[in-house]
Amino acid sequence: MADCTDNVTVPGLKNLLQMDPFLKPFEKDFTRRYTRFNNQLMSIEGAEGGFDKYTRSYESFGVNRQPDGSLYFKEWAPGAEAVFLAGDFNDWSTSSHPYNKREHGKWDLFVPPKVDQSPAVPHGSKLKVVIRSRSGQLLYRISPWAKYVVRDHNNMIYDWVHWDPPQPYMHKHSRPKKPQSLRIYECHVGIASPEEKVASYSNFTYNVLPKIKDLGYNCIQLMAIMEHAYYASFGYQITSFYAASSRYGNPEELKELVDTAHSMGIIVLLDVVHSHASKNTEDGLNQFDGTDSCFFHSGSRGEHVLWGSRLFDYSNWEVLRFLLSNLRWWIEQYRFDGFRFDGVTSMLYHHHGIGTGFSGDYSEYFGLHVDEDSLVYLMLANQMVHSLCPDYITIAEDVSGMPGLCCPINEGGTGFDYRLSMAVPDKWIQILKELKDEDWNMGNIVHTLTNRRYGEKCIAYAESHDQALVGDKTLAFWLMDAEMYTNMSKLSPLTQVIDRGIQLHKMIRLITHGLGGEGYLNFIGNEFGHPEWLDFPRKGNNESYHYARRQFHLVEKDDLRYRELYNFDRDMNRVEEKYGWLSAPPANVSTQHEGDKIIAFERGTVLFIFNFHPSNSYTDYRVGVEMSGKYKIVLDSDEAQYGGHQRLDHNTEFFTEAVPYNGCSNSTMVYIPCRTAIVLANEDLSR
């Protein structure tokens, strides 16, 4: 891949440098990265019959049925001495069906149909690729392109199952349009039930999707779909990249799930893990051809010391084929609408972020410590996804703050649509762990929620799956802890701990929603303050499913306070849908008063006011506003249906005065009770 940057023009680089002039010293870095991306793209176009064909390699690799009923098998195993196909269909013979050796480490095999023209390998047959290594050893492997793998209860190793159903699921509904405001429900199919078991795709389709629709989320982000042998890895140790996890059901049931979401106007993102892979050999990619390399770097560069996993060689032509085609597979076959890329920080740097605290100094983002092979892969991935459809969404999980990550490729960026605001949940946990309510710093909260790169969109969240895992606590549990077991009933007196927890839970989520980004994310169950933590069955907990579930039934009980938090989360999303603050420009913060514990800001056509003071309520409190007009309350955390104390009159009209205040041209006077948040809409602008 050429590194020459002479006479290369990044078409829109001036836009990036004008937006952030401090990037000017690194202009050559952006140019070199773009040149490497462009050279790789052109190489693929010239050598593979086009980028389109290259990224549909699942149509030739693995196993594919031909029009005449024959089956074509193909693998890339450069370190193999010989390759065979074994399975039910040939009584597991390791010699009767040898692959033919082709150029560049490729192997292929045609299996003719039966006399009746039906495939010789029926749907549902178990298969293995048998590799004869250079040492002469026979290695039983699963095809990296396997579309379905299963594990019997008595077996620790997954089996490759040929999936070619006679009546595959046919999608009935068109994809929804890309939402202007992205409200994401992060979820895990296996835990999406109150029962102590692995829940199913069908359960999610019929029991969980209606809840998500009711809550006002317009996007779901599905975790742990790509097959992973170890359930407790939360889906982050992938063994089969093309296989939808069989522990929840079969591929057709996942297709129905996605299609049903589309019928509800909900787009579906896949949590994709291309940053590393499981070390498993018999049912993973590791040592597929009997060598230490193949899909991965050999030696220490191919090992992630903290994750105990293998690291891809993104400079390898066949690895790029495999990963790019993998993204397209999920889009074309299952009709996912985009991806949340996991572990992007690990991909971007040779140090993988280990032992590195990113200070924001721009030298941290350029130089030899940046893995430009990986960066070019991410650019190619975004190029492919967005060329298939501009509405498809890509989100980067990056903690480093790499400049340009969410800028267009033709401006020198990496091409993601959004990055996760990972500092926000950390800040909330730090506040709840370390500070008394009266010591909360309003300026620090505002800084954390607004500290993002201008022109690069972010997904804000108060908590995600990371905070729910065993060893940490959800916001609700940090706020209310043991009293959640005893005092969440409306039939018992409201305690100070529960009252405080309910009010702050709503306020934290609303200020994150309103101020923290251009999209919002919630992890399944946290919308109603799900009690306890998340822990998958493992040896350390006696393989228990008690904490690997979501107790939705708590919301359905009218005598419990969980319903109040659910109601608030639902209405927060519905109000955003109406007024669209997430798609509006960044907020104008007019008030961050440390003594009063007040934060106020305008975004779009609405005014947010938060009183975090534990005891002080304020009458005739002046708040600066830029937009003149008449305001009315459209969301009030103090409403009784949200577990509040009903201290505000929603018939009140708030008129602005031409009295400049806190840098704003106008101002208005409000009553704001303690531990209350309100959203007021400018009726003159919202009509």
Catalytic residue positions, numbered: 342, 397
**DSSP 8-state class, residue 206:** I
The answer to whether 380 and 324 have CB atoms below 8 angstroms apart is: yes
Query: Dihedral angle at the C-alpha atoms of 556, 560, 564, 567, nearest 10 degrees?
Result: 0
Per-position DSSP letters for 331-392, written without gaps between them: HHHH---EEEETTHHHHHBTTTTTT------GGGGSSTTB-HHHHHHHHHHHHHHHHH-TT-
**Burial letters 65-90, b for 16+ CB under 10 A, else e:** eeeeeebbbbbbbebbebbbbbbebb
- Burial label for 448, CB within 10 Å (0-12, 13-18, 19+), is buried
Give the three-class secondary structure for 577: helix
Please report the DSSP string for 631-683 in residue order.
Answer: EEEEEETTSGGGT----S-TT--EE-BS--BTTBSEEEEEEE-TTEEEEEEEH
Per the document, the length of the chain is 687
> In 501-513, which positions are buried (b, 16+ CB within 10 angstroms) versus exposed (e)?
bbbbbbbbbbbbb
Place of tokens 């009030």: 636
Q: Which two tokens stand for residue 604?
A: 């779009």
The SS3 of residue 550 is: coil
CA 516/CA 532 separation, integer angstroms? 26
Rounded Cα gap, residues 366 and 148, in angstroms: 41
**Number of other CB atoms surrounding residue 652 within 10 Å:** 12
Taking every pair of Cα atoms in the chain, the longest distance, rounded to a whole number of angstroms, is 89
Instruction: Give the 3-state secondary structure of residue 624.
Output: strand
Q: Helix 496-515 crosses helix 442-450 at what angle (to 10 degrees)?
A: 40
CB atoms within 10 A of CB 12: 15
Helix/strand/coil percent split, the chain, to 5: 35, 20, 45
* Whether the Cβ atoms of residue 605 and residue 686 lie closer than 8 Å to each other: yes
Residue 642 CA to residue 164 CA, distance in Å, equals 50
Other beta carbons less than 10 A from residue 562's beta carbon: 25
Vertex 282: Cα angle to 276 and 288 (nearest 5): 60
CA atoms within 13 A on the CB side of 313: 18
Residue 676 amino acid letter: T
